[in-house]
Structure 1
Amino acid sequence: MLVPPYFAALSCRNGLEALERIEIYRKSNGSVLVHVEDLGDTVSIQFSYMLPDKPLPRFLIINQQLLLLDVLRTGTGLDIHPISVTTPYPYEDILHDIFACPIQIDADNQMLLAKADLERYFSPSHNMMWSYLESLFDQNYTFSPVAEDSMTAKLRRELKRSIPSGKGDLNTLAKRLDTSSRTLQRKLVAEGTSFNKELQEVQKAMFCSYLQLRLSTEDILYLLGYAESSSLLRAFKRWTGMTFKQYQTKLLTELNLSHQQNIS
């Protein structure tokens, strides 16, 4: 099962980037907001309803705190613990064992984490959703073959992880490939391609894959790093020669035919 904010967070380089991605998702999807405050050596995380006059129920606070802690532990592979947890509600012993830190009762909710823990590297191998998604992305690729050690191949591999994390821009990718943006562009041109071409091909493959998984348009926008649906839909028409609705109809027809063949 693909949970967009969880997948995007685990595609990030560390917990600080993951928090940023989750915070962005919550602003446009769902009713629970995430508030992140950098306090120097520590980082404060609070949750609230989009309507500020409404208190969060106990279940939602616990759910959000545990989800965030699970992202950090999964991404790093380490048993990270908060410095402290504050909650308006009493927590059972099992929650005290999971958080393994002081839990205080107060009107507000807060989880306080060490910034050093949030800066720890997230290993791509810990993002279990990649085991399925990478093969799906590859099925939808229309790339020309290139040498494994070419700059184009390196860029394609980096784009697959960086786009969901919200870091798919030229300058960031060049830095991650240990080069300058100008040198990256020059090497790509020498190999018969360009950064924008490779970026759009990866986005196209991802778009088609997310549609096959029946994600909402809002979730696809988020995972591809688009701010407006109109920009994405124009790009999709350019990629496929079809409107979004035409492609959805085609995809549903193919899925139904495949299902009928499997039954027979």
Structure 2
Amino acid sequence: MKLTLTTQFQQFLLAHGLDLQQILAKTQLTYHLQDETLTMTPLEYYRLTAAIDAQITDEQLLAISDVSQIQLFLPPMFAALSASDGLTALKRFAHFKQLIGPVTAEVQELDQTISVHFAFLYPNQAQTRFALLMEQYLLVSLLRTGSGQRIQPLVTAGPFAYHTAGVAFLGGIQSPSSRNQLIFSKAALQQPFLTENNVMWDFMAPTLQQRLAEVTTTTTFVGSLQKILFTAIPAGDFTLETVAQTIGMSTRSLQRSLTAEQTSFKQQVQTVQRLLAINYLALDNVTPTEIAYLVGYNTPSSFSRAFKQWTGQTVSQYRAAMRVE
């Protein structure tokens, strides 16, 4: 996937204390920001949001989620603001969501309410606090910017705590939950948008549709394999033979395809195991022993040794550091 990061957007982040080049350097990703684009796999995107999450303050998070400030940097946001009302804007936002990152927005419409659930592109892959809260703040800011009204969710649910300023910004009820969700009154979203611009929408729509088609069809073999592993590893059935059969190819062909992308099946299994383990560690009700089995290890001790190799820390040290942050 390709992310567009204009020089102006980089300067906007820097003005709020976020040096994108320094953050990218910490992720050990290859980047060429002078081209104003960043090409990465979904898992590399996850690593980027995790690096930002470790550095960003709650005040910075709110500041960079102001749609009135960033709409020109994100064409899908501008397209949503051109809609006739909040409900149309929300559906347009969800449709083009993957142009901003490998995150989907599931919209459920009932008689009186509209709910929105954000999910990372791969199953079983939780989002970082930064990634989820920014999605929720962005959507609320979008609806308020377009309508000129203080639209607020009736309920905001998620696994992370909302700081004082975040609670004041969202309004409504904040509910701790393993499943993230924003619930809006349908009547509130049917208010007309002051920013409606049909001429601009007609101009932008073909280009956005073309870009979306490119994003959703251009997937590396590694990306496809990782998506399968995110489901297969917690299920405990992720041998080379089983995964090859799931993909519909021989084990030899699978290995050749991975070699062509300069990796191996073992490396990909360990990559997904590490990310799953880190996600499970964020859940206080899951013990290290349970995590070991969930990520495919037969004994807690073998998992502990592998985790120390991956992160340079013990499981308890890593979980303690997460709580401090």
The TM-score with structure 1 as length reference comes to 0.50
| Higher RCO, 1 vs 2 (CA within 8 Å, ≥6 residues apart) | 1
The TM-score with structure 2 as length reference comes to 0.41
